Amino acid sequence: MLESLRRIVQEVNAARNLEQALAIIVQRVKQAMAADVCSVYLADPVQQHYVLMATDGLNPEAVGTVRLKLNEGLVGVVGERAEPLNLDNAPDHPRYRFVAETGEERYHAFLGVPIIHHRQVLGVLVVRQRARRKFDENEETLLVTIAAQLAGGIAHAQASGGLNNLQHGNRGAQGRAVAGLPGAPGIGIGQALVIYPPTDLDAIPDRKSADVAAEIKLFERALSKVRGDIEALAARLRATLPEEDIALFDAYLHMLRGESLAGKTIARIRAGQWAPGALRDTILEHTRAFEAMGDAYLSERASDVRDLGLRILAYLQADARRNHDYPPRTVIVGEEVSATALAEVPKDRLAGVVSVRGSSSSHVAILARAMGVPAVMGAADLNVIRVDGREVVVDGYRGQLYLDPTPVVRAEYQRIAHEEQTLAAGLSELRDLPAVTRDGHRVPLYANTGLLSDITPTLNSGAEGIGLYRTEFPFMTRERFPGEEEQRVIYRQVLEAFHPRPVVLRTLDIGGDKSLPYFPIEEDNPFLGWRGIRISLDHPEIFIVQLRAMLRASRGLNNLHLLLPMISALSEVDEALRLIRRVHDELNENGETPVMPRVGVMIEVPSAVYQADAIAARVDFLSVGSNDLTQYLLAVDRNNARVASLYDALHPAVLRALMQVVEGAHRHEKPVSVCGEMAGDPAAALLLLGMGMDSLSMSVASLPRVKWMIRNFSRDEARRLLDEALQLHTTSAIRLLLHAALQQAGLGGLIRAA
Ligand code: PEP
Ligand code: MG
């Protein structure tokens, strides 16, 4: 059973479109269960119908024409109850509805299971048998397992326009929103540019070739180079290997010279695909054929074909030097968009970001916010290889996107984008005004940064200093640990640029989702593993170099603040303080006389919340990392789109934790701030104001909005709202309360979702 399931899922995953996938499903399931009929019905939410999308056994003409209302017939019962229905004689069921077009009068036994994705019934998978009989438990669970495995793929195809016209008339996926998560606020309208890892055949997007002849030439050149490589390899090995082993290389050469690989690829290029896309399809076709034979030896041949494909691809990519031609309004789309990919796009051409993986607290989303570029994260149902070159609307407020938007959708979003610009222009007038509440209480607003190129916009943003400088970025963009002098120069630039305003440099916080290419860390649970201060204390040689660089950079400026990430125990604070003092003393002895910096601790692990008081007694300030604190308190991976709906810093438990941190800090008269993304959300910042946070640090893009909020509320109002929020038990109720308050204060523009 497991083997047939594995094979079905493998074949379905390799299908190029939904139609093909559904055809494979009905054939293979019918076979595996020795049934007389297998059919798939998919829900059409617009028409409120189930549509027969594929069948093996019923009248094929009925496909696409048979439609049942969502509450109609046995399919409707399965969909409504979201559970299997197993009947030995379907016509006996009171909800049975005879559908003449399918020619189904001959069937008695019925087993239907729902296809469910993210709690939503996408369709129903049905098997029928002529005989009266009840399907046994094994058969039922097999069908449930298949449906559960297929649901993701079906959602994928639906979201990316993989549905043919059967289900949606002539609209395909046009005009339908693809759901994701808000990554960075704003509306971006532009052309999708798919970025993909260079050595992954499956990730290559469909792309039209501009010049067929040139594309064919590229492919032929790559093919001939691989042929040359293999010939040279075979010649070299001939001296040492027996002839039968060399035969393998002859088989490769045969494939490379033969018509089926080259001919088919060239035909695909002629049909309009670019060379990498055409190669991808040919290689997949070959490997699928080998794998379907179900023989271990032939499966191995499938991996040989793949290997050849990758070799050709490598030459294609090297040869073409396919420097992205960034469209004037580029929307970067990828399975996992990296911070580097984002930084590579010329700023004036970047209109938006869409990533299949990740969430709003992923570092790439943080960077997008810093750059003021709308982003949608966790668009898990998007089939990336199908979207290159298409028009996209990125709605970073709601976390959704539209492919090939209808004129109505586009016009509406253009209107909202225009309103946005007006709001931003209005807010820019606040730049030089202080963040002061209506009752005259000042809440300094600082900027989060970490990229040197950020300095100018940050300087111009009206930020009163840097509240969080993530030092890992300069570490990530090098090929080895940066040396002391190299680091000193970077830190000096930041400290100098903002002098005399304060600058908080956070010591290295690698691990978790931030790895260094030259310092790989392999762990099952990286967020619970070797991360932040844990690495620094285990590697004093790296930590001390960083501390020396920071202290030396601050000479004569006196605006350096040090921040320690991922503190989970007091012993870590003590040990880090000991090393900081040692570095300070040694520099003093050398006559460099740096001023001892103020030292702070990030409160981002639950254990630190409960020890905030004792930590505050030891250091000069606390800074809450609400991104990690939310992740650890709620046990929700900040990068996992599947659980992202559970990730919200307005969770009542997070609010209570924050109150405890403020209390701990203030008991020792130490200042406390929030430097996680929560601080940049005007609604959440309203509660932070009520709690008595002494300052807030956020990406510069959020700064004017939060300032606008602060200038429109008094501290008493914020306290009252906090009291009310603490009475509420759910995140959504708290958000509603805050949104209503912002709206009432005339600040609807801050929260308006598109
Ligand atoms: C945080 O965890 O809230 C934080 C500010 O740090 P980072 O996002 O870099 O983990
Ligand atoms: Mg953190």
Report in angstroms the alpha-carbon separations of 545 from 373, 450, 566, 623. 35, 18, 19, 24
> 55: number of CA atoms within 13 Å, CB side?
22
Q: What is the mean pLDDT of the chain?
A: 88
Looking at residue 252, its pLDDT comes to 80
Instruction: Indicate the top mutation candidate among 506, 628, 658, 696 to test ligand 1's pocket, ranked by most ligand atoms within 8 A of CB.
Output: 628
Percent of the chain beyond pLDDT 70? 93
- Which of the given ranges, 29-43, 138-152, 306-320, has the highest pLDDT on average? 29-43
User: SS3 for 505?
Assistant: strand
Residue with CA closest to ligand 1 atom 3: 625
Identify whether residues 569 and 693 lie together within a single domain. yes
Identify whether residues 140 and 281 lie together within a single domain. no
φ, ψ for residue 470, nearest 5 deg: -80, 105
Per DSSP, the residues of 651-720 read SHHHHHHHHHHHHHHHHTT--EEE-SGGGGSHHHHHHHHHHT-SEEEE-TTTHHHHHHHHHT--HHHHHH
Q: How many domains does the chain have?
A: 4
Residue 463 lies in a domain: yes
Could you tell me if 622 and 670 are in contact, meaning their C-beta atoms sit under 8 angstroms apart? yes
Query: What separation in Å is there between the alpha carbon of 657 and the centre of ligand 2?
Result: 16
Domain edge (last residue) among 343, 372, 398: 398
Catalytic residue at 38? no
Residue 404 lies in a domain: no
Q: For 430-439, 445-454, 469-478, which range has the lowest pLDDT when averaged over its residues?
A: 445-454
Residues with CB under 6 A from ligand 1: 468, 470, 509, 604, 625-628, 675-676
Q: How far apart are CA 352 and CA 394, in angstroms?
A: 6
Identify whether residues 380 and 506 lie together within a single domain. no
Write the pLDDT tens digit of every residue in 260-274: 889 999 999 999 999
161 pLDDT above the threshold of 80 = no
Identify whether residues 152 and 226 lie together within a single domain. no
Identify whether residues 186 and 335 lie together within a single domain. yes
Residue with tokens 């959602």: 155
φ, ψ for residue 24, nearest 5 deg: -65, -45
Identify whether residues 44 and 88 lie together within a single domain. yes
Identify whether residues 465 and 585 lie together within a single domain. yes
Domain edge (last residue) among 254, 289, 322: 322
> Containing domain of residue 354, as a range?
177-195+329-398
Residue 664 lies in a domain: yes
Identify whether residues 299 and 248 lie together within a single domain. yes
What CATH number corresponds to the domain at position 299? 1.10.274.10
Per-residue pLDDT band at 532 (split at 50, 70, 90) = very high
Ligand nearest to the CA of 654: 1
Please give the average per-residue pLDDT across 518-522, as a whole number. 87
What CATH number corresponds to the domain at position 510? 3.20.20.60
Looking at residue 297, its pLDDT comes to 67
Could you tell me if 639 and 669 are in contact, meaning their C-beta atoms sit under 8 angstroms apart? no
Residue 410 lies in a domain: no
Identify whether residues 105 and 241 lie together within a single domain. no
Q: Write out 383-442 in H/E/C secondary structure.
A: CHHHCCCCEEEEECCCCEEEECCCHHHHHHHHHHHHHHHHHHHHHHCCCCCCCECCCCCE
Write the pLDDT tens digit of every residue in 46-78: 889 999 999 999 998 999 899 999 999 999 999
How many CB atoms within 10 Å of residue 375? Answer: 33
Q: Which of 619, 626, 622, 530 is nearest to 576 (CA)?
A: 619
Residue 29 lies in a domain: yes
Domain edge (last residue) among 262, 293, 322: 322
Ligand nearest to the CA of 676: 1
Query: What separation in Å is there between the alpha carbon of 628 and the centre of ligand 2?
Result: 5
Write the pLDDT tens digit of every residue in 187-240: 999 999 998 877 788 888 888 888 899 899 999 999 998 888 888 877 877 776
Report in angstroms the alpha-carbon separations of 575 from 400, 623, 658. 46, 19, 25
Instruction: Indicate the top mutation candidate among 675, 688, 693 to test ligand 1's pocket, ranked by most ligand atoms within 8 A of CB.
Output: 675
Task: Put residue 683 in one of left, alpha, beta given phi > 0 → left and psi -120 to 50 → alpha.
Answer: alpha
Please give the average per-residue pLDDT across 120-134, as a whole number. 94
Q: Which atom of ligand 1 is nearest to the CA of 470?
A: 9
Q: How far apart are CA 239 and CA 716, in angstroms?
A: 86
* Catalytic residue from among 156, 168, 363, 561: 363
Task: Kindly provide the residue ranges of all beta strands, DSSP E only, lying in 61-171, ordered along the sequence.
Answer: 67-69, 85-87, 109-117, 120-129
Sheet-wide strand order for 120-129:
67-69, 49-56, 37-44, 120-129, 109-117, 85-87
Q: Is the whole model's pTM more than 0.85, yes or no? A: no
Could you tell me if 198 and 317 are in contact, meaning their C-beta atoms sit under 8 angstroms apart? yes
Residue with CA closest to ligand 1 atom 10: 628
Q: How far apart are CA 265 and CA 263, in angstroms?
A: 5
296 pLDDT above the threshold of 80 = no
Q: For 118-132, 160-174, 190-204, which range has the lowest pLDDT when averaged over its residues?
A: 160-174
DSSP class of residue 208?
A: B
Is the model more confident about 467 or about 106? 467
Catalytic residue at 739? no
Please give the average per-residue pLDDT across 570-591, as a whole number. 97
Residue with CA closest to ligand 1 atom 6: 625
Residue 25 lies in a domain: yes
Residue 421 lies in a domain: no
Residue 266 tokens read as 């060239």
Q: Which atom of ligand 1 is nearest to the CA of 677?
A: 3
How many CB atoms within 10 Å of residue 742? Answer: 22
- Which of the given ranges, 91-105, 410-424, 604-618, 631-645, has the highest pLDDT on average? 604-618
Ligand nearest to the CA of 623: 1
Residue 113 lies in a domain: yes
Is the model more confident about 155 or about 145? 145
Please give the average per-residue pLDDT across 404-412, as a whole number. 89
Identify whether residues 224 and 137 lie together within a single domain. no
Identify whether residues 457 and 575 lie together within a single domain. yes
548 pLDDT above the threshold of 50 = yes
What CATH number corresponds to the domain at position 379? 3.50.30.10
Identify whether residues 239 and 340 lie together within a single domain. no
Query: What separation in Å is there between the alpha carbon of 517 and the centre of ligand 1?
Result: 20
DSSP class of residue 567?
A: -
What CATH number corresponds to the domain at position 111? 3.30.450.40
